[in-house]
Structure 1
Amino acid sequence: MERSYHILVVDDHSEIRDLLKRFLLQHGLQVSVAADGTEMAKLMNHSHFDLIILDLMLPGKDGITLCKEIRAESDIPIIMLTALGEEIDKIVGLEVGADDYVAKPFNPRELLARIKSVLRRHFAIPNVTQQITTSPVQYQFSGWILNSTTRELTNPDGALITLTSTEFELLVAFLSHPNVVLSREDLLKLVQGRGADVYDRAVDTLISRLRKKIEADPKMPKLIKTIWGGGYQFSCEVKSL
């Protein structure tokens, strides 16, 4: 990595915390550890972190609750750890704003690869297909403005709306293909970097998150429409600047 990123590992198992700290330090990362949400909050109040590895099952506030609280205030990348391995738990993690997930037991090298991928998406130029990386600096749609350089999304009232890195990439994919029906497979190809085990349902949960941020009524979307049997369509005029 070009710089030493600071990673916060939140897990109540001391063996996992110690293993990850040693392994990530060996690979040039700065690492802090916390056993629960209380310790995590204390560390976050005094230090800057570039990414959080957050266990789903924690004493006190669980990982889902903590992820919601973090995401309400910050777009810091979050990778969820889950021992459950059920698809529904992965979906819930994505719905509340996690950028990726890794199921326990996991290979530390796999987790390191996920960390690098999420950091690359978050800090680099939007990591999507070449057609999108050469996209305009600004997109305008239905009173909204998305600056693809600063990643700032402004609503029609002029307020900034926070997007996670994956939500940003998904929105750019739609804005680059307005009024085109995109299948889940198309979107998975356009939004890169989530790993080989990304499943179709993940697209649905990400779109649900994005709708909550840009639709007047997410339950009756007018911008991101579901095309039954086909996929999704961004049904709005898009101006590129």
Structure 2
Amino acid sequence: MNRIFIVEDEKDLAHLLEDYLRHHQFDTKIATDGNDVISGVKNFDPDLILLDLMLPNKDGLTLCKEIRSFSTVPIIMVTAKVEEIDRLLGLELGADDYICKPYSPREVVARVKAVLRRAAPLQPGADRPPSALIMDEASLSVSLLGRPLALTAVEFRLLKALSDDPRRIFSRDQLMDRIYRDHRIVHDRTIDSHINKLRKKLSLACPEHEVVHSVYGIGYKYELPHSLDNY
């Protein structure tokens, strides 16, 4: 039974999440104060942490950084702050996903299950489930949902940078550092042009869903619907 550590100062919400998670066969523990989180992580040894951003005495971003100094446990940041920079900072500090309030408890359970699936090690002899996106750097070949894509070298490096860290928001400067290895000086809007071309090619394989998402004022991220993570 997976253990979920719920760090949430709104007690009614914390107990609502606890009820939903226990209904789905998760073991749970609740902390409502930032000062109780580090000891709780060490004593409870959770498989995943739902970490609220705004907590009394110590905030979620500080706690995320402290937890990452001694543990790789998956962390889902939960926040009512909608500024994109908070999302970016949370993920750069080591969070695996984020959920914005208000949310549905069913959505939280679904996201918890998805993050745990991604974090679960393969058992010896087990076959890895087929990936929706397959990239071969040696041949620059790419397939999405089993459909081959013809990408340029720059488009390949761009997609690889984004998909290697799904749901992370990359700024244009960060993407330029990854796709132009000679560190040439390029106008940042050049990335927008490459993204537009890449999106058109991705839409041929996955017309129903956007794969590369724009995050206003910051940059871009790669994210497939959870139902397509392993198609």
TM-score for the superposition, normalised by structure 2: 0.60
Whole-Å Cα distance in 1 between the matches of residues 120 and 79 of structure 2? 25
Give the alignment partner of residue 34 of structure 2, picking from 33, 37, 45: 37
Provide the identity percentage.
38
CA contact (8 A) 1:129 1:190 kept: no
Tell me what 2:117 maps to.
120
Instruction: State the superposition RMSD in angstroms.
Output: 3.8
Give the alignment partner of residue 154 of structure 2, picking from 175, 181, 186: 181
CA contact (8 A) 2:161 2:178 kept: no
Give the alignment partner of residue 102 of structure 1, picking from 95, 99, 102: 99
Q: Does 1:6 align with 2:9?
A: no
Tell me what 2:22 maps to.
25
Q: Which amino acid aligns with 2:170?
A: V
Residues 223-238 of structure 1 aligned to structure 2 (within 5 Å) = 228=186, 229-230=190-191
Q: What secondary structure sits across from 1:73 in the alignment?
A: coil
Give the alignment partner of residue 70 of structure 1, picking from 67, 90, 95: 67
Give the alignment partner of residue 134 of structure 2, picking from 117, 120, 131: 131
CA contact (8 A) 1:82 1:104 kept: yes
CA contact (8 A) 1:10 1:34 kept: yes
Identify if the C-alpha distance between structure 1 residues 223 and 181 changes in structure 2 by more than 3 Å, giving closer, same or farther. Answer: closer
Deviation of 1:19 after TM superposition, in Å, equals: 0.5
Give CA deviations for 1:111-160 in whole Å, capped at 9, x if unaligned. Answer: 1111111111111458854636x99xxxxxxxxxxxxxxxxxxxxxxxxx
Whole-Å Cα distance in 2 between the matches of residues 38 and 63 of structure 1? 11
CA contact (8 A) 2:78 2:101 kept: yes
CA contact (8 A) 1:91 1:202 kept: yes
Deviation of 1:41 after TM superposition, in Å, equals: 2.1
Q: Which amino acid aligns with 1:131?
A: I
Identify if the C-alpha distance between structure 1 residues 66 and 39 changes in structure 2 by more than 3 Å, giving closer, same or farther. Answer: same
Q: What secondary structure sits across from 2:12 in the alignment?
A: helix
Paired residues, number: 169
Deviation of 1:204 after TM superposition, in Å, equals: 3.9
Tell me what 2:169 maps to.
202
Which 5+ residue runs of structure 2 have no aligned equivalent? 123-127, 138-151, 196-231
TM-score for the superposition, normalised by structure 1: 0.58
CA contact (8 A) 1:184 1:203 kept: no
Identify if the C-alpha distance between structure 1 residues 226 and 85 changes in structure 2 by more than 3 Å, giving closer, same or farther. Answer: farther
Give the alignment partner of residue 49 of structure 2, picking from 47, 52, 60: 52
Identify if the C-alpha distance between structure 1 residues 95 and 189 changes in structure 2 by more than 3 Å, giving closer, same or farther. Answer: closer
Whole-Å Cα distance in 1 between the matches of residues 161 and 16 of structure 2? 32
Tell me what 2:198 maps to.
none
Q: Which amino acid aligns with 2:20?
A: F
Whole-Å Cα distance in 2 between the matches of residues 28 and 69 of structure 1? 28
